[in-house]
């Protein structure tokens, strides 16, 4: 008889009802390892021209900006922000990025590929 595959619900029920501190420590390590693997898979598929949303980045005012990858340099990318994100960045209370008021796109350099989530 084939072994059944645990569901997310059964795993959640186990955590909530039966997991010990040691179980939770092992689960946290496994989750971190899985997130690392998924990030590696995701970044390996990113190419120039991909539309992305920037996430899990510091400074936080860059979080959620969207655009298109125009250059990849090792583990970092230059993301050409779309008009909405360019406008949003222009109106943040930061002073690092300066852009003309008429700009509808802005090249954001040095964005880690691990922070680029494909949107399309």
Tokens of 34: 């899985």
Is the confidence at residue 1, as pLDDT, over 60?
Answer: no
Average pLDDT over residues 6-33: 92
| Tokens (6 digits) for 22 | 């040691």
Which domains, from first to last, does the chain contain? Answer: 7-45 (no CATH), 48-120 (2.30.30)
- The arithmetic mean of pLDDT across residues 17-31, rounded, is 94
- Tokens encoding 18: 């039966």
Q: In this model, does residue 20 exceed pLDDT 90?
A: yes
Strand locations in the chain (E): 51-54, 66-73, 76-81, 106-112, 116-118
Per-residue pLDDT at 6 exceeds 70: yes
The token duo for 44 is 């390996």
Tokens of 13: 């029920």
Average pLDDT of span 67-71:
98
Query: Is residue 55 predicted with pLDDT exceeding 70?
Result: yes
For residue 93, pLDDT over 90 is answered with no
Contacting residues for 93 by C-beta, under 8 A, at least 6 apart: 61
| Mean confidence (pLDDT) of the chain | 92
- Has residue 52 got a pLDDT over 70? yes
3-state secondary structure of 46: coil
């Amino acid at each position: 008889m084939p072994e059944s595959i645990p569901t997310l619900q059964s795993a959640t029920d186990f955590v909530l009802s039966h997991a010990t501190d040691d179980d939770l420590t092992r689960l946290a390590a496994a989750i971190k390892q899985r997130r690392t693997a998924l990030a590696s898979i995701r970044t390996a598929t990113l190419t120039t021209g991909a539309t992305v949303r920037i996430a899990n980045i510091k400074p936080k005012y860059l979080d959620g900006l969207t655009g298109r990858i125009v250059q990849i340099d090792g583990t970092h990318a230059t993301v050409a922000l779309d008009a909405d994100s360019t406008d949003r960045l222009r109106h943040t209370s930061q002073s690092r990025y300066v852009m003309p008021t008429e700009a509808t796109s802005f090249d954001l350099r040095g964005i880690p590929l691990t922070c680029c989530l494909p949107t399309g």
